[in-house]
Structure 1
Amino acid sequence: MKNRATVVCWRDGKILLVARKHARWALPGGTIRVDESPVEAAARELQEETALDGYAMHYAFRFSGFRKHHFVFLVLLPREVIAVARHEIAHCRWVRPARVMRLPMSVPTREIVGLLGGGTPKQPACAERRNATPEKDEATGVQCAAIAQVFPERSRGTW
Structure 2
Amino acid sequence: MLVANELMYLFQFSGFNTLHNVLFADVAQHTTAQPSNEIAKCKWFAPVKITTLSASVPTRGIVELFFKHIGVLGPDNVRQPLQHVDRVTP
**Alignment TM class, shorter chain as reference:** 0.5 to 0.7
Compute the RMSD of aligned alpha carbons: 2.5
How many residues are aligned here? 77
Tell me the TM-score normalized by structure 1. 0.40
1:115 aligns with 2:65: yes
Q: 1:4-83 counterparts in 2 under 5 A?
A: 47=1, 52-83=2-33
Tell me the TM-score normalized by structure 2. 0.64
Structure number with greater Rg is: 1
Residues 80-116 of structure 1: CA deviation (Å, up to 9, x unaligned): 2112233454433221112122211122111101112
> In the alignment, which of 69, 75, 82 is matched to residue 158 of structure 1?
82
Name stretches of at least 5 consecutive residues in structure 1 with no aligned partner. 1-46, 118-124, 127-146, 149-153
Q: Secondary structure at the match of 1:63?
A: strand
Q: Name the % identity.
A: 34
- Structure 2 match to 1:129: none
Q: Which has the higher strand share?
A: 1
Q: Distance in 1 between matches of 2:24 and 2:4?
A: 13
